[in-house]
Amino acid sequence: MRRLFLFIFAAFLVNQKATAQGCVAIRSTGGTASTLEHMNDTGKGKDWTLNINNRYFKSFRHFVGTAEQKQRKEQGTEVINHAYTMDLYLQRNLNKRWSVALDVPIIANSRSSLYEHGGNNAGPGGRHSTHSFGIGDVRFAVYSWLLDPARNPKWNVQAGLGIKLPTGDYRYQDFFIKNDSTKVLGPVDQSIQLGDGGTGITLELNAFYSLTHSLSVYGNLYYLSSPREQNGVSTARGGTASAGAKANGSDVMSVPDQFMVRAGANFMFNRFSASLGVRDECLPVHDLIGGSNGFRRPGYIISIEPGLNYSLKNVNLYAYVPVAVVRNRTQSVPDKLTTERTGVYAQGDAAFADYAVNIGCTIRF
């Protein structure tokens, strides 16, 4: 019974990725480790785990701070992002306490707008889309349980340290349709770029506590530190940056930090496991290491996250749907510089989704 519970709870943890639901461009380069290593305390556990997670969301609700800009949808000028990521997460248990993991995201995004093409006054016929497809930023991490799993089956804390590599194309380009006869090739918006162009350091803490054989609580922390300030990619979409963008530094894309915090409870019954938790995903205004200027849409999303797992012998199937309850597009460094320079408060907007869908499976072999 205990092993079955740990197997289900492990699959619950392994699929969670730090990907925000909208123009706040938190990419799927995160992911927490699992309690699967506990199954090895008898020497009969599987050594490899493959998690295949499929994540989709549609962002279209614009926010400045926590205030929704409802007029954007009413006027038909809202930006609509469709974001899909398949994360291939391969983990190798080295022994009872140590493991290594490789995360490879495969990304397909589209972005529909008026302002990037013919302009917000072009009418419905002026709406066009840009796209991106390919491998994102790959991440490699090492994990260790802080306590001996064999002696602490009821609760434990796992620490992880990793490196995120700039394998995703952060200069991805597509055509922007200006009118019936003119189109311009340029870098797509930051929110649908495949990577951020920086090498990052990831830190993770994953904890669980089994209250009973059927009920547990969990907590996860993931932080990606990106020392590089800017990646040199223009935000002008194939055109020329404005004087204002050059003055405040938003003419080139930033390489931001990101983090995620999760906590909740998990309940098992037969082969099923249901969970309910709170999820906070954030792209901060300021980085821990290095500068923070350049174009970014900082902000955070707080979601209620229900989930359901179904366990087979060596396979676990799951579905999780975090539903946003708080969305906040905070003031960026360029916004603050513009405010200081002009004396007029400036704060950009971002489009957010109502929810995201995570469906996948975890296979042990």
**Spatial contact of 176 and 117, defined as CB atoms under 8 Å apart:** yes
Supply the pLDDT for residue 124.
85
Q: Which residues of the chain have pLDDT under 50?
A: 1-17, 29-44
Tokens for 71?
Answer: 């007029």
Largest distance between two CA atoms of the chain: 71
Supply the pLDDT for residue 37.
35
CATH of the domain at 51: 2.40.128.130
DSSP string for 321-347: --EEEEEEEPPPHHHHHHHHHHSS---
The pLDDT tens digits of the residues spanning 63-87 come to 999 999 999 999 999 999 999 999 9
Other CB atoms within a 10 A radius of the CB of residue 289 amount to 12
Supply the pLDDT for residue 23.
59
Which domain covers residue 65, as residue numbers?
2-364
Give the count of domains, the chain: 1
- Residue found under tokens 């999760």: 262
- Residue found under tokens 């009920």: 215
**Cα–Cα distance, 346 to 336 (Å, whole number):** 7
Phi, psi (degrees; rounded to nearest 5) at 342 = -100, -20
Of residues 282, 289, 318, 322, the one with CA closest to residue 306: 322
DSSP string for 12-40: HHHT-----SBSS---S------SGGGGG
**Cα–Cα distance, 113 to 127 (Å, whole number):** 5
Supply the pLDDT for residue 22.
57
Supply the pLDDT for residue 123.
85
| Distance from the first to the final alpha carbon of the chain | 20
Write the burial class of residue 68 (CB in 10 Å: 0-12 exposed, 13-18 middle, 19+ buried).
middle
Supply the pLDDT for residue 177.
96
pTM of the model: 0.90
